[in-house]
Structure 1
Amino acid sequence: MNHEWKQFLESVGARVDDGVARFDGAPCDESGLLCDLSHLGLIRVGGEDATGFLQGQFTNDVTRVDEQHAQLSSYCTPKGRMLANFRLFRLGTDYLLQLPRSTHARVLKRLPMFVLMSKVEIRDASDELASIGLIGEAARTALEAEFPRLPESPDEALNEKAMSLIRMPGSGGRFLLSGPVPALTGVWNRAVAAGARPGNAVCWALHEIRAGIPWVDEKTIEAFVPQMLNLQLINGVSFKKGCYTGQEVVARMKYLGKLKRRMYLARVESDTPPRAGDALFSSTSSSGQGAGRVVNAERSPQGGYELLAVAEIAAREGDGLHLWESDGPRLEFMPLPYPFEEA
């Protein structure tokens, strides 16, 4: 975490532990919310060959990312298994990858291994810049005072005053803002003056879950191919861009294979928090290793936990799915905000 940003957050009432800001009694509603996103790492990629280099590494079409458009994408092994996924956007002439800290270090170490003779520069930008999430009308009011216009559709972006503003999917009017600390402190103070309240990282994570946006965790590295996490449904995969690491497996799943597992939105009542990678079970499962896995989970303000989980389609349509063991807490499924048909 940037030291100046840490000092600012502490000055407005946050407790900062292990690079994560926490506000006591913080809400998770949509009326007006500010979330520090220092739990997400940033990787900066620049140089005259950056676009071509990244195009050969990631599942989505990097050539479509510019100052007006961000995208979700993922980084796979040659076997098509996801090492990480991230949000990719431009800030000035460089690309930025924003992803959980739990996978950030692995990508930062692995990506430069393939640069070879390309004119590409890769570095950690996590302590160089700051990022905040803004939700609701009060936050929107602050942004309208700062920017000449606001992006209105998901993944639409705006570069202004050395900051990148991205409209996020989901309800409540969500925005992601990244940039230098002095600029972000000004937006933060303006949003608070408009009525927004500081929230915690878990609130932002809960809104990501409700929007059906998955994040690979250290416990789920290489556990999924992109289609299992619905990336083809949320514009996280391009099937027209050409070759990239793992492309053959991902394309085969689309054109020749039959998807047996996909991601669902659910809630569960439990005294024990579900964690990424926790197993799901069903009496109709065709696998001895369980019927699926938890992808992400957070406590719900209404009680219990809300989660994204990859599960066997047949088991989901069968007699129910349970957490941890066949007679464990039963999952109650909820509709995702997007259809299972490909966009």
Structure 2
Amino acid sequence: MTESTQASTPWQAFLEQQGAHIEAANGAEVRYFGPTAAAELPDNFVAPLTDLGLISLSGDDAASFLHNQITNDVEKLDLATARLAGYCTPKGRLLATFLMWKDAGQIMLQLPRALQPAIQKRLQMFVMRSKAKLADVSEQYVALGLAGNTAAEVLQQWFPQLPAQPYTKIDNEHGTLVRVADSRQAPRYQWIASVEQAIAAWPALTQKLSAVGTHAWRLTDIYAGVPVITQPTQEQFVPQMINFELIGGVNFKKGCYPGQEIVARSQYLGKLKRRSVLALVDAVDVRAGAEVFSSEDPGQPCGMIVNAEPAGTGKSACLVEIKLAASDNGTIHLGAVGGPVLQLQPLPYELAEPQ
């Protein structure tokens, strides 16, 4: 693992002063705080989400332009709401997944920092005559991930009224607070703040909350059943394969966007044969894009790892896209039929069939 010897931004410099170990080779990701990494995921924590990038869209046509590019409704997005959304190829395969919100002057798209430059460039290609401006604002804002009931209590120092439901948000002079999907039966929030605000708030936050690396936030995403497209899984899945419509990431009543016909056909014609499931596996180096195999049909893969993170005690937690028939019969193995067995876990939502 390569760790940075010199921080490249004021926020990273501050985090290193607080004991953060930052891996420069992986998008300036905070690996852990303190002398050693914690073995278990704390119930209440704050994580600097330095692995995420942020695209701003502004201009008179920003909403209408973006509405015609992604899987969710942008034109009816209000100031009190956040949404998940996907960006597909013309074949309906996901290039990226976003957390999206707007304020009075711009629409924000949050996605993995490693994908941000190429996705922004691709979107820019389609602006043409639209009055829409795209900008990389990743360094202008800090994203903090906060999880747990204590986190909710601590946040009230800056946000006396917290967002009441997942995917609602509040803006004030301290920044934007988005409540995202609950995980492990506890609330989670993203606080989007200025660098100065984040630095000022950090001592009070870490007095009550465990400071952890970015992987902890990704792990709670996995437990919440919220997939994130990364470089190894680009163009691998239509949205339904990763349950994206079940968690509010697809609007089937909006107009056209790249891949819309295929996404709609998957929804309304026939029965879905592939979904994503939650699993634990006795392995610590599990990577997105790795194939999984069924004991009933060992000759060909039956699915693929969507996201995976170490989950303590030699295990990893994974979201796994899989043939439903394979998940109902036999055992599922990582890498090959002789590989570790995936131990399927209940998702926090039902794998409903399309209506």
**Bigger mean CA deviation after superposition, 250-259 or 230-239:** 250-259
Deviations 1:289-333 (A, max 9, x none): 410000111111243111000000111111111110122111110
Q: Which residue pairs with 2:134 in the alignment? A: 122
**CA–CA separation in structure 2 for the residues paired with 1:70 and 1:260:** 30
Q: Which residue pairs with 1:185 in the alignment? A: 199
How far apart are residue 186 of structure 1 and its match? Answer: 2.6
Q: Which residue pairs with 2:21 in the alignment? A: 15
**CA–CA separation in structure 2 for the residues paired with 1:143 and 1:281:** 44
Match status 1:229 vs 2:251: no
**Mapping 1:134-153, distance limit 5 Å:** 134-153=146-165
Q: Which residue pairs with 2:88 in the alignment? A: 76
Counterpart residue identity of residue 331, structure 2: G
User: 1:5 pairs with 2, 11, 17, which one?
Assistant: 11
Deviations 1:254-286 (A, max 9, x none): 11133111000001112x51100000111434x
What TM-score does the superposition give when structure 1 sets the normalisation length?
Answer: 0.94
Q: Which residue pairs with 2:302 in the alignment? A: 291
How far apart are residue 288 of structure 1 and its match? Answer: 6.0
Counterpart residue identity of residue 185, structure 1: I
Match status 1:324 vs 2:330: no
Deviations 1:87-111 (A, max 9, x none): 0112442111111123222211100
What TM-score does the superposition give when structure 2 sets the normalisation length?
Answer: 0.91
How far apart are residue 187 of structure 1 and its match? Answer: 2.7
**Mapping 1:161-180, distance limit 5 Å:** 161=173, 163-169=175-181, 170=183, 171-180=185-194
**CA–CA separation in structure 1 for the residues paired with 2:165 and 2:8:** 30
Q: Which residue pairs with 1:340 in the alignment? A: 351
CA RMSD of aligned residues (A): 1.8
Paired residues in the alignment total: 340
**Mapping 1:21-32, distance limit 5 Å:** 21=30, 22-24=32-34, 25-27=36-38, 28-32=40-44
Counterpart residue identity of residue 222, structure 1: E
**Mapping 1:25-104, distance limit 5 Å:** 25-27=36-38, 28-104=40-116
Match status 1:210 vs 2:223: yes
SS in 1 for 2:249: coil
How far apart are residue 161 of structure 1 and its match? Answer: 1.3
Structure 2 runs not aligned, ≥5 long: 1-6
**CA–CA separation in structure 2 for the residues paired with 1:322 and 1:64:** 43
Counterpart residue identity of residue 306, structure 2: V
**CA–CA separation in structure 1 for the residues paired with 2:209 and 2:174:** 23
**CA–CA separation in structure 2 for the residues paired with 1:257 and 1:245:** 22
Q: Which residue pairs with 2:281 in the alignment? A: 268
Contact 1:57 1:75 in 2 (8 A): yes
Q: Which residue pairs with 1:220 in the alignment? A: 233
How far apart are residue 201 of structure 1 and its match? Answer: 0.6
Contact 2:144 2:191 in 1 (8 A): yes
How far apart are residue 137 of structure 1 and its match? Answer: 3.5
Percent identity (aligned): 39
Q: Which residue pairs with 2:256 in the alignment? A: 243
Contact 1:32 1:139 in 2 (8 A): yes
